[in-house]
Amino acid sequence: MILYACSSNPGKLREFALTPPAAVIEPLPALGHIPAPEETGSTFEENARLKAVYYSAFTPQLIFADDSGLEVDALSGAPGVHSARYAGPHATDAENNALLLENLAVTTSRSARFVCVLALARQGQVLQTFRGSVEGEILPAPRGAGGFGYDPLFFYPPFGCSLAELTPQQKFAVSHRGNALRAMSAWLSQEKLQPHSN
């Protein structure tokens, strides 16, 4: 079974490739030529659902869309659904990280979590959603050269290091996206959905 991932984020695509083999995951064909939908949802699930419904119009096969981000308790859950554009519409990871540290400068509370919601869809219908999360703390400065996004600032206590200091396999074993992908893979294995016949 081929399952199309509706993301052009290279970091996410590398992690999708580590998914248990319930399906062969490939980027949606011609994704780069499809205008991205406006993410108007106020939650990760709303955005994942709207992206899944939108992109499922471009293929009869199964697709899934991901919406994920960082929730910091001291910032009332921010950056949340705005994680990728926290410092602006075209912000870099470094700019987003710098703004996060700036906004946490006056607090000692550092608890946070990464959240990922995947929405699985076919031809305009969301079949199921899958949520994964991982709890941690925000470091005072970046650590590690791996991962992407806020990984260098996200300290994972059980391993005593940031997510950016882990190998891709170590991170996938505990991460929000890994947890959501494993849940989706298990569901697909149970449901035994058949590929659409063109």
Instruction: Show the tokens assigned to 57.
Output: 């119009």
pLDDT of residue 192 exceeding 80, the answer is no
Band the pLDDT of 175: cuts 50, 70, 90. Answer: very high
67 a catalytic residue: yes
Which of 66, 67, 93, 151 is an active site residue? Answer: 67
Query: Is the four-CA dihedral 38, 41, 47, 51 of positive or negative sign?
Result: negative
- Number of helices (H) and strands (E) in the chain: give both, helices first: 5, 7
Instruction: Show the tokens assigned to 146.
Output: 């791996």
pLDDT of residue 197 exceeding 50, the answer is no
The predicted pLDDT at position 21 comes to: 64
